[in-house]
Structures are given as structure tokens and as C-alpha cells.
Homo-oligomer: A and B are copies of this chain.
Amino acid sequence: MEYVGTALAEMTMPQISPLAGEPIERADAERLAGVLKALADPARLRLLSLIQSAPEGEACVCDLTAPLGLSQPTVSHHLRILTEAGLLEREKRGVWAYYRLVPSAIATIADLLTPPRKRATKKAR
């Protein structure tokens, strides 16, 4: 498909220049928008929240369907988008697929939005 395309991961989101500073370039804007688009959905925000607060910090699809009130295919769909955005990682154990947050992925996004701080990123070029 053609969603985000692992924006955060291989797109190397950390290279996206922050919102602050000089005007953001077109490409950066599109990458950042891609990741934010993955976040900008109630169901997906709740998924992240549910997974993050789960016992081992992980959860399988069957645990997430009920709380969200969405069908299993729809939940899998959202999990896929979050995974491809680099926000979740998937591990299949037996019949179950366990999802957990990618350590500092969300924090990285927050840093890109936050203007003046310890940002170590050199926007190079």
C-alpha cells in the first residue's frame, strides 16, 4: 500500500528539521505530516495508550478489539499504520501478535514540535 511507508523508521525521522527555526522544507513537512497523520486518529491514540499501559507494555490484537469497540480487521488496520509509521513494533509469538511501543518514537515527534530546547539535531545541508 501507500500509507506512510515506515516514516519514522527508515525515513529517519530524526533528520526531519524541527518546526521551529528556519522555514521547514517541503519534503520535511511531508514526512512529519505523515507521522502526525498516523497519530491523528482517536482509535490509534487509544491503541497506543492501551498498549503502553498494558501489563508488560505489550498487547495482542484480541486484547484491543473489545476496549476500542472496533472490528478485528479494523484494529489490525490501525496497528499496521502505527507500525509502518515507526510508532509500534510487532512480535509474533505462536498464534498471537504482540505489539509494543517503539521506545522513544513518540518523544522524538514531540521534540520535533517543541521549538527551543536541547535539540541536538543538526539540520545539516
> How many of A's residues come within 8 Å of B, CB to CB?
35
Of all chain B residues, the one with the shortest Cβ separation from A35 is B40
Q: Counting CB contacts under 8 A, is A22 at the interface? A: yes
Contact indicator per residue, chain A 4-38, by CB within 8 Å of chain B (1) or not (0): 00000000000000011111101001101100110
Chain B residues with CB under 8 Å of A19's CB are 45, 48-49, 52, 106
Q: Counting CB contacts under 8 A, is A89 at the interface? A: no
CB distance from A29 to the nearest CB of B (A): 4
**A113: which of B22, B43, B110 is its contact (CB, 8 Å)?**
B110
**A46: which of B23, B41, B49, B113 is its contact (CB, 8 Å)?**
B23
Q: Are A29 and B53 interface neighbours, CB within 8 A?
A: no
C-alpha spacing A33/B78, complex, angstroms: 14
Q: Counting CB contacts under 8 A, is A39 at the interface? A: yes
CB distance from A16 to the nearest CB of B (A): 10
Chain B residues with CB under 8 Å of A49's CB are 19-20, 22-24, 29
